Each structure stands twice: as structure tokens, then as C-alpha cells.
């Protein structure tokens, strides 16, 4: 597989695993969270619009995120494959991604779903020390995940693309599980 998404709650280890797996397969890691944080740091127009949503732990509006992803997937290094980490985050984004990928003839091959219990996520997120990792924001981001992102599990299951991984294990062990599932 060379085109897949990493799906799962905040703190599930998607970003850590995406870096390792993308490097091993010589494909591109696309993290919408990283792209947005860099837009905020560079004070771009997009960054200025996105910042307040991110600080609260809300999703940045689809219109902003979709354009950013489309642009990123059009770049040269994305033509040999990618892992989308943190995108799509809701059903509207998943449908828009579907349309985009159909248009560019690069179908999605799998959706790797990281399963990690909420209690563990909260502990992990609070120990990470990122600016949007304070306790009330963490709680809100988990709620947003359950309300808006978790429905994507059924969405990809129905399309025969879902691959679930138990993410509550050591980093190397989770990598091994992913590699086995997407071989």
C-alpha cells in the first residue's frame, strides 16, 4: 500500500508512527496538524484564520483544510504515495477527499485505525506539553474526536478500507503491527 490514512484519536500515536512508516516505504507523510501549526508560526493568512480554532481544540473549517490538502497532494513528492495523518477529520472531509482522489486518479488503499482507550490518551496528551495540550482543551479535543471523527470508522469500514490496530503498546510493537497489516 502506498496511499493510506491514519485515523484515530489525538494522542493515539498517529504522528509518531506516520514518520516511521512513511520513511520505511519512501512515501510522504502529510500531517494537517503540522501544516496548520507551520501556517500559524509563519503568520500566513491561513494560519491567522486557523489559530483560534486550534487553540480551542476545535476543527479548523473544512474550506481552509481542504484547499491546503489539495495543494499538498499536488506537489511532486506526493506522487509516489502518502500517509495522511489527521485528515480527514469528519465525514465531509472524507467525502471531499474521495472526490479529489478520484479526480487525480490516486485511490485510497487503506484507513489504519488506531484504537487506544480514552484514559491513556488523556495521560499521553497531558505529558506531551504542546500548546494545545492543556487539560480543558485535551478534553474538548477528545469530545470533538468522538463526535466528528469517530464516524469515519464506519465510513471506511463500509468501503472495505478499514484496518484496525491496537495502539496501546510500545512504539516499535505498534510499528510492527502496522507494517504487517499494510504489507
Site residues for ligand AMP per CB under 6 A: 10, 32-33, 36, 53-54, 57-60, 65, 86-87, 89, 93, 141
**Measured from the CB atom, is 26 or 92 closer to ligand AMP?**
92
In angstroms, the first-to-last Cα distance of the chain is 7
CA distances (Å), origin 66, targets 44, 49, 89, 130: 16, 14, 11, 24
What's the closest the beta carbon of residue 183 comes to ligand AMP, in angstroms?
26
What's the closest the beta carbon of residue 45 comes to ligand AMP, in angstroms?
16
CA dihedral 59, 87, 101, 103 (to 10 degrees): 20
**Measured from the CB atom, is 9 or 110 closer to ligand AMP?**
9
What's the closest the beta carbon of residue 59 comes to ligand AMP, in angstroms?
4
**Measured from the CB atom, is 29 or 141 closer to ligand AMP?**
141
The sign of the dihedral angle between the CA atoms of 102, 4, 166, 147 is negative
What's the closest the beta carbon of residue 36 comes to ligand AMP, in angstroms?
5
Which helix H or strand E contains 118, and what residues bound it? helix 118-126
Amino acid at each position: 500500500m502506498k496511499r493510506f490514512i491514519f485515523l484515530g484519536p489525538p494522542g493515539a500515536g498517529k504522528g509518531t508512527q506516520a514518520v516511521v512508516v512513511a520513511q520505511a516505504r519512501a512515501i510522504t507523510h502529510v500531517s494537517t496538524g503540522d501544516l496548520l501549526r507551520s501556517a500559524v508560526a509563519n503568520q500566513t493568512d491561513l494560519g491567522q484564520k486557523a489559530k483560534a480554532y486550534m487553540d480551542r481544540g476545535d476543527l479548523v473549517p473544512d474550506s481552509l483544510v481542504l484547499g491546503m490538502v489539495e495543494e499538498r497532494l499536488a506537489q511532486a513528492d506526493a506522487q509516489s504515495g502518502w500517509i495522511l495523518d489527521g485528515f480527514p477529520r469528519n465525514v465531509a472531509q472524507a467525502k471531499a477527499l474521495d472526490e479529489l482522489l478520484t479526480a487525480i486518479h490516486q485511490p485510497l488503499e487503506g484507513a489504519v485505525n488506531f484504537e487506544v482507550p480514552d484514559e491513556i490518551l488523556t495521560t499521553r496528551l497531558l505529558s506531551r506539553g504542546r500548546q494545545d495540550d492543556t487539560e480543558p482543551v485535551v478534553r474538548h479535543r477528545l469530545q470533538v474526536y468522538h463526535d466528528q471523527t469517530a464516524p469515519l470508522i464506519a465510513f471506511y469500514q463500509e468501503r472495505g478500507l478499514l484496518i484496525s490496530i491496537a495502539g496501546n503498546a510500545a512504539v516499535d510493537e505498534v510499528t510492527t503491527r502496522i507494517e504487517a497489516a499494510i504489507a
